[in-house]
Amino acid sequence: QVQLVESGGGLVQPGGSLRLSCVASGSIFVIYTMGWYRQAPGKQRELVATITSGSSTNYADSVKGRFTVSRDNAKNTVYLQMNSLKPEDTAVYYCNAEVTTKVTTFTRTNYWGRGTQVTDSS
């Protein structure tokens, strides 16, 4: 199967920056869209940013102009550069990837990482 591992989370003060990374591994045939979602305690999970295999991006209105999503296809890695962090950005950030595997080469499946904590407070 496919595994996604996030890294780069941590504790920052308001206005600070972090860069999250997510590496996909396993029986991957093709990776299509990759993205980041977040969930704060007691809140609904929400989309943060996505990037297609052709590097077309989409952002939630709340992060536009502050966050940048990118990917390195050779390394099966997606990044999320987060600048000008606000307390409301505090959440667990989850990596998502839409893939076909070497076993099911014609079926696209979404996989999720286990999440990384981002905390923005003074």
Q: How many CA atoms lie within 13 A of 35 on its CB side?
A: 19
In this prediction, residue 105 carries a pLDDT of 87
Candidates 48, 44, 45; CA nearest to 58 is 48
pLDDT at 55 over 80: yes
Q: Over the chain, what is the mean pLDDT?
A: 96
Terminal-residue alpha carbon distance, the chain: 40
* Percent of the chain scoring above 90 in pLDDT: 95
In this prediction, residue 121 carries a pLDDT of 85
Q: What ranges make up the beta strands (E) of the chain?
A: 2-7, 10-12, 18-26, 28-39, 46-51, 57-59, 67-72, 77-82, 91-101, 109-112, 116-120
Over residues 72-86, mean pLDDT: 97
User: pLDDT by residue (tens digit) across 10-51?
Assistant: 999 999 999 999 999 999 999 999 999 999 999 999 999 999
